[in-house]
Amino acid sequence: MKNFYPIVFVIFILFGNNIASVYATEIKLTVSVDKTIVENGGVIRFTIGVHGAFDTDQPQLPPLENFSTGYGPTVSTQTKIVNNSVSIYRGFSYRLVAKKTGKFTIGPATLRYKGKIYKTNPVNVEVVERTPFEGKVDKGRGKDIDISKRVFVELSTDKKEAYIYEQITRSFKLYFQKGLPIDNLEYIPSSPKSFLVEKLGDEKRYEAVRDGILYSVIELRTALFPVVSGKIKIPPATFKCNILIQQQHRRSWDPFENSLFNEFLGRNEYRYPVERSTTSLKLTIKPLPVSGKPKDFTGAVGKFTMDVLAKPTAVKAGDPITLTINISGKGNIQTIGEPTLAPEGSEGFELYPAEVNTTITDREEGIKGRKLFSKVIEPQYENIKATPAISFSYFDPVLEKYQTITSKPIPITVEQSDMETPIRFSLEGAGRAKGQVRILTKDILPIMSNLHSFKNQGLLLYKRPFFLAFIFLTPILFVIACIYVQNHRELLQTDMGYARKRRAPSQMKKQFSDTRRLVQHGNSTEFYAALAKTLTDYIANKTGLSPASITLENISDILGSRGVSPGTVEKLKQCLESCDHGRFSAGQHSKDKLEDVLETAEEVTKLLERQL
Amino acid sequence: MREKNILTFLILFFMLLSGSQTFAGDVTREEATDVFFKANEEYNAAQKEMAAKKEKEALEKFEHAAQLYEKLLESNFISGQIYYNLGNAYYRQGMSGRAILHYRRAERLLPRNADIKANIGLLKSDFEDKEAMHQAPEILKIVCFWYFFLNLNEITAITIYMYLAFMASILSIIFIRLQWLRKVSIVFASCLLVLVISLGLKAHNQYSIERGVVIADECEIRYGPGEEYEPKFAIHEGAEVKIEEERNKWYKVYVYVDVEDVRDEKDKKDIEFKKGWIPKAKVGKI
């Protein structure tokens, strides 16, 4: 008992208001028949539905001259709680038997409720003659089924005229008579090429009355975003299903004809395939107006809002700040472009491309969602006080004009960076972007006036005779030199006399230098001996004789026969005699004397070199 | 003694070779320098007149300066500086075609001079059509720098020096028997080979391929060598052409400027379209 009062309280809280609201609203009266065409003597079910109240009286039937009422009414009640909303329904079903053929209108049923009279719409019913059955379904029973009235489809859009990129809701509705058993439902949607397509929510199931018949409706919806302007056609959609039709059989003794057995095997059901196609739809897609189009418009069409958040707001120069720009609203959120940063406030910021995250939040009543732009900006200087203003433009198809949302600059604090800043050459606030060169005039460069480098360049080297002579003569000279050197080398190796003659001057020079060293030592005996040997060896090498065969007695003949002048021979003999005298005399000679003799010998050899 | 004699001979030969460069020509260097100096003075005076808004006087002085430069060139004293200054003088007189012609001539003699390139670039920037001349890639200019930064005479001189060095090294190997010179002589031989090829290419490019500049205000390119042939298209003053053939008073030219815009889409790749005949008087040979 202790727990009873809290439970009652909770129930009151949950339902009390709703019940009150239900009773506060007005009731609604509907009428439906299970078929609008019936054979004479056939039965139709006539149902009057009362929505919104349980405490009503039984509705008053209209005068039914052409129908006889059977038992009834059968009363059914229904209560639905969807999303905390309560809907109440009470149905009064009557069984009407057609008495004669013709088209009849069943007048409105009336209901008095709380002093107010409610009326239903009239319903048309056609009563036809009972005819023998020629249907495709069950020939044995003599009964046809009008399938087209029982199952049909509709394709519709919420608007016939729209702007490019504007959202259009396309609805595909499948109507099938309530209670008609169908299975294998297959929906083949049309594929329009000039639209971006987004699915809208789950399929909707509800009931609707058409021409007095109660139908169950399955509705499939898609959002279309036209991408081209002009007269655009939406191709038809197709729907396929099977209708299950119960077959009746004559009683049989065959145990396999037993109805229960057949039902178990599915023999009592006949699957009747049905295919329905909608008609195509024509839409007029208008281009977006040119006049009044903002510069930053990037193609967003719909209704949007924008929030901007900067984090962190206190940084050092060169550190990043993330601007989170949230654009949300109804429209094709996928095609929204990045909002624009005001150029006047962007100076001094290093800007990076934004990262984008798109979320569709609602698909029930059109595409709704948000697009998040995370843009990193880096303030470069410490005198920056706020982030740049951000603007976003879109076209509102309801107002038929462009809208621009501009966020205010967010105040930030920028401190001096720890890093050294490079020297700036441009003046602050000079009215131009830093580093931008302003070209005043374009002109040619001045003339050349350097006289040092002024020379005649028209004299081409290859046109000069010297050049040509050089080019042709050098290789010839080179070849001649090579031949000469080769021969010389061969003679040196093969002809001993030639080799001695060629080497005589160099050998003599070497011996003279050795002899000169003896002058310095003051050794006259050795000096004279060396000098005599130098002269004898030189003459022997030049003449090709052995040094021993050259004596003072025969030297005149030897040299005379080789064209040496008698004067030179005489000087040579005197020199050799001086050497002999010096070698064999007892006393030492002075250095001057020795040098005089050496010079005389050198002169003689020079004379001999010319003449031999 | 003999080695000394050969070396003396080579030195004398080289001196003769380089000495002859200075004293050839119709005017001496001193005379030419005088005229060049006067022409420069005249040009600078004209520049001052121009700054003082005395256009008539300035024009007269520019004309006089140009005459002096032309006189120097007529006397066979050829210099890149004269061509460049003459180009400037023509530019000031409003003759951009002649200016480009003389800048191009100066460029051949002074290939390293940046001022010439800058002035050509400035004049070409005034043209609306695109230049379709083949430019060597930058990497090639770096790798074969000697080809692009030296004129024909300089490459010739370096080739001769290399030739002499190579010969000297060979002779030294033979006479003095310095074995280490063998490797040096291989280096000299390689350099000589490269230089000889470069020299041949440069000479071919300069003398075998004739180029010209349109010096008339506007000029029609015709289908054949004569006024009786229909005009094909018109090109402006300063446009550069390649001279392919000469017949009477006409040149058959290949136009370097892009003429794609005046043609149908399907003919865009037709090289023949750029060829045509132009009167000799309207083209200056570079």
Q: What is the pLDDT of residues A157-194, one digit of tens each?
A: 888 888 888 888 888 888 888 777 888 788 877 777 78
Q: How far apart are CA A320 and CA A374, in angstroms?
A: 12
A73 residue type, one letter: P
pLDDT at A129 over 80: no
Longest dimension (CA), chain B: 79
Q: How far apart are CA B255 and CA B282, in angstroms?
A: 14
pLDDT mean over B197-217:
87
* Distance in Å from the first CA to the final CA of chain A: 162
Q: Is A202 exposed, middle or buried (0-12, 13-18, 19+ CB in 10 A)?
A: exposed
State whether B29 and A454 contact (CB < 8 Å): yes
Q: Where in chain B is the domain with CATH 2.30.30.40?
A: 211-285
How many CB atoms sit inside 10 A of residue A466's CB?
15
Does residue B23 come out as left (phi exceeding 0), alpha (psi in the -120 to 50 range) or beta?
A: alpha
Contacts of A398 (CB under 8 A, 6+ apart): A303
State whether A474 and B115 contact (CB < 8 Å): no
Q: Which of A439, A442, A456, A466 to mutate to test the interface with B (most CBs of B within 10 A)?
A: A456
State whether B22 and A455 contact (CB < 8 Å): yes
φ, ψ of residue A201 in degrees (nearest 5): 55, -170
Most confident by average pLDDT, A478-492, B10-24, B107-121, B126-140: B107-121
H-helix segments, A326-420: 343-346
Task: Identify the band that residue A340 occupies on the pLDDT scale cut at 50, 70 and 90.
Answer: confident
| Tokens encoding A201 | 């929510």
Task: Identify the band that residue A381 occupies on the pLDDT scale cut at 50, 70 and 90.
Answer: confident
pLDDT mean over B15-42:
72
Which residues are bridge partners to A117 per DSSP? A112
Question: What is residue B187's predicted lDDT score, i.e. its pLDDT?
Answer: 92
pLDDT at B1 over 70: no
Q: Are A414 and A382 in contact (CB under 8 A)?
A: yes
Task: Look up tokens 């462009």; give the residue.
Answer: A402
How many CB atoms sit inside 10 A of residue A352's CB?
13
pLDDT mean over A517-539:
87
pLDDT mean over A490-515:
89
State whether B24 and A478 contact (CB < 8 Å): no
B69 residue type, one letter: Y
pLDDT mean over A20-35:
70
Can you tell me whether residue B230 is helix, strand or coil? coil
What mean pLDDT, rounded, does chain A reach? 79
Contacts of A38 (CB under 8 A, 6+ apart): A44, A98, A125, A126, A127, A128
| CB interface of B with A, residues 133-152, below 8 Å | 151-152
Closest alpha carbon to A325 in A397, A380, A402, A406: A406
Which residues are bridge partners to A225 per DSSP? A196
Q: How far apart are CA A394 and CA A404, in angstroms?
A: 6
- Give ∠ CA B26-B107-A449 in degrees, rounded to 5: 65
Q: Are A350 and A321 in contact (CB under 8 A)?
A: no
CB-based contact, A425 to chain B, within 8 Å: no
Question: What is residue B86's predicted lDDT score, i.e. its pLDDT?
Answer: 92
Q: Are A322 and A311 in contact (CB under 8 A)?
A: yes
**Nearest Cβ partner of B153 from A447, A460, A466?**
A460
pLDDT at B83 over 90: yes
Longest dimension (CA), chain A: 193
CA distances from A128 to A2, A40, A42, A100 (A): 67, 6, 9, 8
Q: Which chain A positions have a beta carbon within 8 Å of B109's beta carbon?
A: 457
Question: For A449, which residue in chain B has the nearest alpha carbon?
Answer: B40
Can you tell me whether residue B206 is helix, strand or coil? helix
Provide ipTM, 2 decimals: 0.73
Closest alpha carbon to A66 in A108, A131, A126: A126
State whether A453 and B81 contact (CB < 8 Å): yes
Task: Identify the band that residue B84 occupies on the pLDDT scale cut at 50, 70 and 90.
Answer: very high
Closest alpha carbon to A179 in A51, A5, A45: A45
DSSP A337: P
pLDDT at A115 over 90: no
Q: Are B219 and B238 in contact (CB under 8 A)?
A: no
Question: What is residue A341's predicted lDDT score, i.e. its pLDDT?
Answer: 84
Question: What is residue B132's predicted lDDT score, i.e. its pLDDT?
Answer: 59
| Strands A85-98, A74-82: pairing kind | antiparallel
Question: What is residue B191's predicted lDDT score, i.e. its pLDDT?
Answer: 93
Q: How far is B40 from chain A (nearest CA, A)?
A: 7
| Residue with more model confidence, A355 or A439 | A355
Q: How far is B173 from chain A (nearest CA, A)?
A: 11
**Nearest Cβ partner of A456 from B25, B160, B163?**
B25
Question: For B153, which residue in chain A has the nearest alpha carbon?
Answer: A460
Task: Identify the band that residue A422 occupies on the pLDDT scale cut at 50, 70 and 90.
Answer: very low
CB-based contact, A470 to chain B, within 8 Å: yes
Q: Are B45 and B63 in contact (CB under 8 A)?
A: no
CB-based contact, A450 to chain B, within 8 Å: yes
Q: Are A246 and A65 in contact (CB under 8 A)?
A: no
In b/e form, how buried is each residue of B56-88, taking b as 16+ CB within 10 angstroms?
eebbebbbbbbebbeebbeeebbbbbbbbbbbb
CB-based contact, A441 to chain B, within 8 Å: no
- SS3 sequence, A93-156? EEEEEECCCEEEEECCCEEEECCEEEECCCEEEEEECCCCCCCCCCHHHCCCCCHHHHEEEEEE
| CB interface of B with A, residues 38-97, below 8 Å | 40, 43-44, 47, 76-81, 84-85, 88, 91
Task: Look up tokens 């892009």; give the residue.
Answer: B258
Q: How far is B284 from chain A (nearest CA, A)?
A: 18
Q: How far apart are CA A519 and CA A602, in angstroms?
A: 14
**Nearest Cβ partner of A457 from B37, B109, B122?**
B109
CB-based contact, A444 to chain B, within 8 Å: yes
How many CB atoms sit inside 10 A of residue A500's CB?
17
Q: Where in chain B is the domain with CATH 1.25.40.10?
A: 26-125
Q: Which chain A positions have a beta carbon within 8 Å of B154's beta carbon?
A: none
State whether A448 and B78 contact (CB < 8 Å): no
pLDDT at B3 over 80: no
Question: What is residue A592's predicted lDDT score, i.e. its pLDDT?
Answer: 85
What mean pLDDT, rounded, does chain B reach? 82
Task: Identify the band that residue A14 occupies on the pLDDT scale cut at 50, 70 and 90.
Answer: very low
* DSSP letter string, A386-422: BPPPEEEEEEETTTTEEEEEEEPPPB-EEEPPSSPPP
Percent of chain A with pLDDT strictly greater than 90: 5
DSSP H or E stretch at residue A308: strand A302-311
Q: Are A300 and A335 in contact (CB under 8 A)?
A: yes
Question: What is residue A314's predicted lDDT score, i.e. its pLDDT?
Answer: 87
DSSP H or E stretch at residue B284: strand B283-285
Question: What is residue A464's predicted lDDT score, i.e. its pLDDT?
Answer: 73
| Tokens encoding B159 | 């080739």
Q: How far apart are CA B134 and CA A60, in angstroms?
A: 101
Question: For B203, which residue in chain A has the nearest alpha carbon?
Answer: A462
Task: Identify the band that residue A206 occupies on the pLDDT scale cut at 50, 70 and 90.
Answer: confident
Can you tell me whether residue B17 is helix, strand or coil? helix
Q: Which of A447, A474, A479, A489 to mutate to test the interface with B (most CBs of B within 10 A)?
A: A447
CB-based contact, A448 to chain B, within 8 Å: yes
Q: Are A417 and A317 in contact (CB under 8 A)?
A: yes
Query: What stretches of A168-292 adopt beta strand conformation (E)?
Result: 168-177, 182-188, 195-210, 213-226, 230-234, 238-246, 269-277, 281-286
Handedness of CA A234, A235, A236, A238 (dihedral sign): negative
Top-level class of domain B26-125: mainly alpha
| Residue with more model confidence, B264 or B154 | B154
Question: What is residue A537's predicted lDDT score, i.e. its pLDDT?
Answer: 92
Task: Identify the band that residue B87 occupies on the pLDDT scale cut at 50, 70 and 90.
Answer: very high
DSSP B130: P
pLDDT mean over B87-113:
90
Question: What is residue A16's predicted lDDT score, i.e. its pLDDT?
Answer: 43
pLDDT at A207 over 50: yes
Question: For B126, which residue in chain A has the nearest alpha carbon?
Answer: A442
| Strands B210-214, A213-226: pairing kind | unpaired
State whether A464 and B151 contact (CB < 8 Å): no
Q: Are A49 and A30 in contact (CB under 8 A)?
A: yes
| CB interface of B with A, residues 245-284, below 8 Å | none
* DSSP letter string, A38-106: EETT-EEEEEEEEES-SS--PPBPPP-SSEEE-S-PEEEEEEEEETTEEEEEEEEEEEEEE-S-EEEEE
Task: Identify the band that residue A421 occupies on the pLDDT scale cut at 50, 70 and 90.
Answer: very low
pLDDT at B193 over 80: yes
Percent of chain A with pLDDT strictly greater than 70: 84
pLDDT at A201 over 50: yes
Q: How far is A484 from chain B (nearest CA, A)?
A: 11
Percent of chain B with pLDDT strictly greater than 70: 83
Q: Is A364 exposed, middle or buried (0-12, 13-18, 19+ CB in 10 A)?
A: exposed
Ranking A315-319, B23-27, B192-196, B226-230 by mean pLDDT, the lowest is B23-27
| Strands B240-247, A110-113: pairing kind | unpaired
State whether B91 and A444 contact (CB < 8 Å): yes
Question: What is residue B25's predicted lDDT score, i.e. its pLDDT?
Answer: 47
Q: How far is B271 from chain A (nearest CA, A)?
A: 34
Sheet holding A401-407, edge to edge: A340-341, A390-396, A401-407
pLDDT at A353 over 70: yes
pLDDT at B169 over 90: no
pTM of the predicted model over 0.80? no
Task: Identify the band that residue B4 occupies on the pLDDT scale cut at 50, 70 and 90.
Answer: low
Task: Identify the band that residue A143 occupies on the pLDDT scale cut at 50, 70 and 90.
Answer: very low
CB-based contact, B14 to chain A, within 8 Å: no
State whether A485 and B175 contact (CB < 8 Å): yes
pLDDT at A443 over 90: no
Q: How far apart are CA B75 and CA B58, in angstroms?
A: 26
* Distance in Å from the first CA to the final CA of chain B: 52
DSSP A190: -
Q: What length is written for chain A?
A: 612
State whether A461 and B32 contact (CB < 8 Å): no
pLDDT at A15 over 60: no
Q: How far apart are CA A255 and CA A134, in angstroms?
A: 30
Q: Are B102 and B90 in contact (CB under 8 A)?
A: yes
Q: How far is B18 from chain A (nearest CA, A)?
A: 9
Question: What is residue B285's predicted lDDT score, i.e. its pLDDT?
Answer: 87
Q: Which of A439, A443, A455 to mutate to test the interface with B (most CBs of B within 10 A)?
A: A455
State whether A442 and B122 contact (CB < 8 Å): yes
| Tokens encoding B230 | 């229909």
Q: How far is B223 from chain A (nearest CA, A)?
A: 36
Question: What is residue B6's predicted lDDT score, i.e. its pLDDT?
Answer: 60
State whether B25 and A447 contact (CB < 8 Å): no
**Nearest Cβ partner of B36 from A454, A462, A466?**
A454
Q: Which chain A positions have a beta carbon within 8 Å of B16's beta carbon?
A: 466
Q: What length is written for chain B?
A: 286
Q: How far apart are CA A564 and CA B179, in angstroms?
A: 42
Task: Identify the band that residue A290 occupies on the pLDDT scale cut at 50, 70 and 90.
Answer: confident
One CATH from 3.40.50.720, 2.30.30.40, 2.70.98.10, 3.40.50.2000 for B211-285:
2.30.30.40
Question: For A488, which residue in chain B has the nearest alpha carbon?
Answer: B175
Task: Identify the band that residue A586 occupies on the pLDDT scale cut at 50, 70 and 90.
Answer: low
φ, ψ of residue A423 in degrees (nearest 5): -65, 135
CB-based contact, B8 to chain A, within 8 Å: no
State whether B24 and A464 contact (CB < 8 Å): yes
CA distances from A595 to A63, A518, A520, A583, A609 (A): 177, 10, 10, 15, 21
CB-based contact, A485 to chain B, within 8 Å: yes
DSSP H or E stretch at residue A369: strand A368-379
Q: Which chain B positions have a beta carbon within 8 Å of A466's beta carbon?
A: 13, 16-17, 20
pLDDT at A291 over 90: no
DSSP H or E stretch at residue B92: helix B80-92
